[in-house]
Structure 1
Amino acid sequence: MTTRRALLKSLAGGALVAGAATAGLPLAARASGWPERPVRILVPFAAGGNTDGIARLLALHLSDKLGQQFVVENRTGGGGTIAAEATARSPADGYTLMVAAVAQIAVFPALKKTNYDPVADFAPISNVANNPFCLVANPSFPAKTVGELVAYARERPGKITYASGGIGSIGHLTMALFLKRAGLEMAHTPYRGGAPAVADVIAGHVPLYFGNLSEALPHAGGALRALAVSSATRSPKLPDVPAVAEFYPGFKTDTWNGLIAPAGTPKEIVDRLASEVRAALKEKKTLDQLDSFGVDPIGSTPEEFKATIAADLVLWREAVKDANVAL
């Protein structure tokens, strides 16, 4: 934990000072005249988390390669919707970007009306990294596999309880999708965040939890038993743990962090940024740091990221309906 905090602290400092020099500025960037002044990267959460850490990694790389400061600005509130709205309302000139999470772009718009349109108001640049979910159980829970869980729960409809980080959280909605596919009924116990939910599963107060893989990793094989991951295939971080898709083909959910800009941002700038994201994800130091966050690098094109967002909007609207959530 100390190492992780030290890493995030060093990134926070470096992102503010990197890249003042313009020597060696690529010809394409010179020709467009962008960037001619510092660029801000909005982060919808407080400093210290994965989204913030990813933003600072990008800020360091972009500052170095594009010859201007890329400065991280933490704009918290509203579960990230305040930062998203600020991004949507900013000039489409390449000087305001956002490292968004799936919650702001696909989940919250499915839950409630937002002051921005997740499709019309943003220009997708690149999906930077993914973090799948992991279904975990207290080791005392009788079911040791997904198959055993399904059989056990079918005999006890509505009597087994699962925890989540809150009503309408991605973990809650992922479990709703799983229960629908498996034809199960369970009771939901929402918590105020993932940390207290994990703590109560470890303590044995609640037997099950579907949360971020990064939350489960420190406890998997010890205080928690990992039953399945929500990615399309097994995670390299837990290679012996099956994917839900092995039991229910096509099942896939994850949370991602992607770089976006206001709609109308020039294509030349969007493409340049996407290219630099992919370049950053080829650097060993970046990959090592992402691995320490417990996330998987992606580096998609703008077109691929646009398709991901479209698919997730459909997915999470379905999940909200299945979970019967209204905020």
Structure 2
Amino acid sequence: MSAKFKLPRRTLTRLMVLAPLSAALLSLPAHAQGSYPDRPVTIVVSFAPGGGVDGVARILGTALGKVLKQSVIIENKPGAGGVIGAQHVLRAPADGYTFLLADPAFAVSPSLMNNVPYDILRDFKAVSTVTTSPLVLSVPVKSPMKTVTELQEAGRKAAGGFTYSSAGVGTSPHMSGELFRLRSKGNFVHVPYRGSGPAMADLVAGNIDFSFSTMAAALPFIRDGRLRALALTGPDRVAELPDAVPLAASLPGFDVRFWTTLMARSSTPPEVLTQVNEAMRTALATEEVQQAFKRIGETGTYMPLAKSDAFVQGEWKRWAAVVREAKISIN
């Protein structure tokens, strides 16, 4: 007959004290138990490959991966003016492994659409701005338009309208076109595409009269002589396009910037957001990254967490006013 095994009273007491602590440790999220990140990170792009946002994402992904010492995967989720990509991120766990690389469409869509399935101020938090640049107003090289003034006059006279392409409804090229239409009082007709790549392809082919596009999307076609740059939406000239003049020269006050910002779900742990923001600061400060952005016409721009959030909120307010003035709506 075997004797019963009995723990000493002191050992039993210690086990009773340690049990709740062990349970609490097991309930902690993975990033609190180990070092973040311990697996690949995904950056979602809301547009098709080949456009401006996609180009920025691929440079950022490589640089951020080096700092975080993890692979960074770029995942394209185009459609609905950026809503599909943002919704995809919102459905992912808020654990710091899925981010959105947002552009102005992210701030514009809530004012354009009646049923955007999220609140950008409540559901998302900016981690850091990434890049900024002016947009380029360009025409096919065979177009008779040589100046902005000629384009404005042609738009006012054209009964059927002059078409302009964009990377999608609510994108910065679309909103630039709407501002141009309002200020020029021209008959300009918007033709949206699912990203800068297809929009530029139709412009180069001569199926579209003109376009506002990111520097990254336009420069290759301007450099190889298939497009002609007429103007820039920023207040200054840029070295890459010495012949393009600021639109503000003919339309005073016209100032639109394309920007990208890394966004996370707002419920992502604050310590993870802080760590990624610091990684962004390190990555964007390198000469390698700055030169890579410069080659596609972008400028790297880092901001701390709070300042990045305030920037996105400011863009949302600004474009909401433009949407009201232009009377744009999407059901």
TM superposition score normalised by structure 1: 0.74
- Post-superposition Cα deviations, 1:75-96, rounded to whole Å, max 9, x if no partner, equal 6254443442243354544344
Is 1:150 matched up with 2:145? Answer: no
Residue number among 207, 210, 221 corresponding to 1:208 in the alignment = 210
Q: How much does 1:145 deviate?
A: 2.2
Residue 173 of structure 1 corresponds to 175
CA shift in 2, pair 1:265/1:205, >3 Å: closer
Q: Per the alignment, in what secondary structure is the counterpart of residue 184 of structure 1?
A: coil
The code of the aligned residue for 1:256 comes to: W
- Tell me which amino acid in the other structure corresponds to 2:222: A
C-alpha offsets along residues 25-67 of structure 1, whole Å, 9 cap, x if unaligned?
A: xxxxx99965162252231356665545544544444444345
Q: Percent same amino acid at aligned positions?
A: 32
User: Shift of the alpha carbon at 1:130?
Assistant: 2.6
Is the counterpart of residue 43 in structure 1 residue 47 in structure 2?
Answer: no
Name the residue aligned to 1:72.
Answer: 73
Change (3 A) 1:70 1:182: same
1:326 alignment partner in structure 2: 330
Q: Can you list the C-alpha shifts for 1:244-292, whole angstroms capped at 9, x where unaligned?
A: 2333343232333221221143444333322321221222222232234
What one-letter code is carried by the residue in structure 2 that aligns with 1:326?
I
3-state SS of the aligned residue for 1:218?
A: helix
- In 1, Cα distance between equivalents of 2:170 and 2:191: 12
- Alpha-carbon distance, 1:208 to partner: 2.1
Aligned residues: 295
Partner AA of 2:330 in structure 1: A
**Per the alignment, in what secondary structure is the counterpart of residue 216 of structure 2?**
helix
The Cα shift of 1:176 comes to: 0.9
Paired residues of 1:107 and 1:313 also in contact (CA < 8 A):
yes
Asked whether the 8 Å contact 1:130–1:254 carries over to 2, the reply is: yes
> 1:313 is matched with which residue?
316
Give the residue type in structure 1 aligned to 2:292. Answer: Q
| SS in structure 2 at match of 1:309 | helix
User: What is aligned with 1:271?
Assistant: 274
1:270 aligns to what SS in structure 2? helix
Taking structure 1 as reference, are residues 194 and 38 closer, same or farther at Cα in structure 2, changes over 3 Å only? closer
Q: Give the alignment partner of residue 251 of structure 2, picking from 243, 248, 252.
A: 248
Instruction: Judge conservation of contact 2:166–2:196 (CA < 8 Å) in 1.
Output: yes
Deviation at 1:227, TM superposition (A): 1.3
Could you tell me how far apart the structure 2 residues matched to 1:109 and 1:76 are? 18
Greater alpha carbon shift after TM alignment, 273-282 vs 139-148: 139-148
Q: Distance in 2 between matches of 1:214 and 1:60?
A: 17
Contact 2:44 2:100 in 1 (8 A): yes
The answer (yes or no) to whether the contact 2:233–2:256 under 8 Å persists in 1 is yes
**What is the TM-score of this pair, normalised by structure 2?**
0.73
Once the two structures are superposed, residues 227-250 of structure 1 have per-residue CA deviations (whole angstroms, 9 ceiling, x without a partner) of 111124323321331122333343
- 8 Å contact kept, 1:153–1:185: yes
Could you list the runs of 5+ residues in structure 2 that have no partner in the other structure?
A: 1-30
Q: CA deviation at 1:192?
A: 5.8
Instruction: Please say if 1:261 is aligned against 2:238.
Output: no
Contact 1:41 1:99 (8 Å CA) reproduced: no
Deviates more, 1:317-326 or 1:227-236: 317-326
Q: 1:203 to 1:57 in 2, by over 3 A?
A: closer
Question: Which structure 2 residues correspond to residues 131-142 of structure 1 after superposition, within 5 A?
Answer: 131-142=133-144
Other-structure match for 1:280? 283
SS of equivalent residue, structure 2 residue 121: coil
Unmatched tracts of structure 1, length 5 or more: 1-29
Shift of 1:119: 1.0
Instruction: Give the greater-gyration-radius structure (CA).
Output: 2
Mapped contact 1:87–1:97 kept (Cα < 8 A): yes
Aligned positions of 1:226-241 closer than 5 A:
226-241=229-244
Q: SS in structure 2 opposite 1:225? A: strand
Aligned-residue Cα RMSD (Å) equals 3.3
